[in-house]
Structure 1
Amino acid sequence: MFDYLFAQYNEYPIHEVYLELTAVFFGLWSVWCAKKDHIWVFPTGLISTSIYAYLLWQWSLLGDSMINVYYFIMSIYGWYHWTRKKDNIDEFPISTMNGKERIMAVIIFVLTVVFVVIVYLYFNKFASWYSYLDTILTAIFFVGMWLMAKRKIQNWIFWIVGDLLSIPLYLAKGYTFTSFQYIIFTIIAVYGYLEWKKILNSSQNLELHQ
């Protein structure tokens, strides 16, 4: 079992192993901060996503590489969005999606699938089931990151689904540390949803009694 999970690392450049472990560390830290609704979700995420954007391109997971470039950009946007205050109160607190945002989420999903398919076809990378799953995952995570940057509670639903699908993908590709990371991501995402739900309910009850 140990050889199945880790033997492939004997063939990897040592710097890629260290980079993957560093990205895993900052990725877990970032998701934990997201669970706590803490602004450090973004600077830690910037480190993790920049490393993974490079590694995933090296590993021919083009969709996931583009996800991390997108994460990097959206982390900058989210960092700005979360810090905006009005009269010392968060201008954009945790909330639920409205009708327009649901439509926008569908549009982002569809456009992302189309874009990633074009990229895979251009580079002639549709060689296995990895590529097809990677295409769907890219769309799921694009929507999830957009919702998180906007502080919408539904972002956790997309993270949970995407994380669960990522576990077998990275395990099958031989990136065991990253696969283990997604197991932990899934657990944190479930607790993140529950914690954000509690915060949202508290704020709604407070508004009702004002």
Structure 2
Amino acid sequence: MSPIFDFFFGQYADYETYYIVLEIVAVIFGLLSVWFSKQNNIWVYPTGLISTSIYVYLLFKWGLIGDMMINGYYFIMSVYGWYVWTRKVDDSHFTPITKTTKKEHKISVLIFISTLAFVFVVYQMFDKWTSWTAYVDTVTTAVFFVGMWLMAKRKIENWLYWIVGDIISVPLYFYKGFTFTSFQYLIFTIIAIFGYLAWKKNLDSSPLILSK
């Protein structure tokens, strides 16, 4: 095999084939989910549920507790988001894209801090403070928890959290040895940027003032 191929995929040499196949399937459905989110399409949730279910299993097998918790939370919030996105605010309109309110910003900060504390306790329990990646995992978990909550609420600022978390995750997952997942986050970053622009265009064309 070529040195370039070995550099990117050499870590998979010791993996069982079905783990590799499952990761690729999870990546495909993950990409579909983010694409549907960019399109403001309800299919973001069923595709996301498939991806996160697979990742919860894989990350449990790989012993990546923080990452597993992220995906477990995604699964729960996907169910909640599916409900919110299909809930009508009146007889003819579903929950629209809006800006985050002051109250929701405060809740976002609370979710971020609570997540940091929660992950810290879990990592202490499972003795996971063995690498610098654990500290980065703690931060990205908190970032993604806020992003997922805001996406479920259909708030445009969710994309900003996804962009930050995705950028950090690209080198992080590559370092951990999961090249396919690293590539997934690279594509996530690009889609998230366009997703923010698409949602902003949608919001600008039908603005709603929510600033309590």
Name the TM tier (shorter chain).
over 0.9
* Structure 1 match to 2:116: 113
* Structure 1 match to 2:183: 180
TM-score by length of 1: 0.95
Answer yes or no: is the 8 Å Cα contact 1:61–1:134 preserved in 2.
no
Match of 1:97 among 95, 100, 118: 100
Match of 1:4 among 2, 7, 26: 7
Question: Tell me, which stretches of 5 or more residues in structure 1 are unaligned?
Answer: none
5 Å-filtered alignment, 1:4-83, equals 4-83=7-86
Quote the Cα distance in structure 1 between the aligned partners of 2:56 and 2:180.
16
How far 1:59 moved relative to its partner?
2.1
AA paired with 1:116?
A: V
- Residue 182 of structure 1 aligns to a residue whose secondary structure is helix
How far 1:58 moved relative to its partner?
2.0
Quote the Cα distance in structure 2 between the aligned partners of 1:81 and 1:191.
23
Q: Deviating runs (4+, > 3 A) in structure 1?
A: none
Deviations 1:122-179 (A, max 9, x none): 0101111111111111000000000000000000000000000000111001100000
Of all paired residues, the percent bearing the same amino acid is 60
Aligned residues, how many? 205
Does 1:154 find its partner at 2:157?
yes
5 Å-filtered alignment, 1:158-173, equals 158-173=161-176
How far 1:5 moved relative to its partner?
0.8
Answer yes or no: is the 8 Å Cα contact 1:141–1:162 preserved in 2.
yes
* Structure 1 match to 2:125: 122
* Structure 1 match to 2:92: 88
How far 1:7 moved relative to its partner?
1.0
How far 1:62 moved relative to its partner?
1.2
Deviations 1:69-101 (A, max 9, x none): 0100100010010001121211x2000011110
Quote the Cα distance in structure 2 between the aligned partners of 1:59 and 1:135.
17
Deviations 1:16-72 (A, max 9, x none): 101100000000000000000000000000000011111122222211110100100
Deviations 1:100-135 (A, max 9, x none): 100000000000010001111101011111111111
Answer yes or no: is the 8 Å Cα contact 1:33–1:40 preserved in 2.
yes
Answer yes or no: is the 8 Å Cα contact 1:52–1:68 preserved in 2.
yes
Question: Tell me, which stretches of 5 or more residues in structure 2 are unaligned?
Answer: none
AA paired with 1:122?
A: M
Answer yes or no: is the 8 Å Cα contact 1:61–1:131 preserved in 2.
no
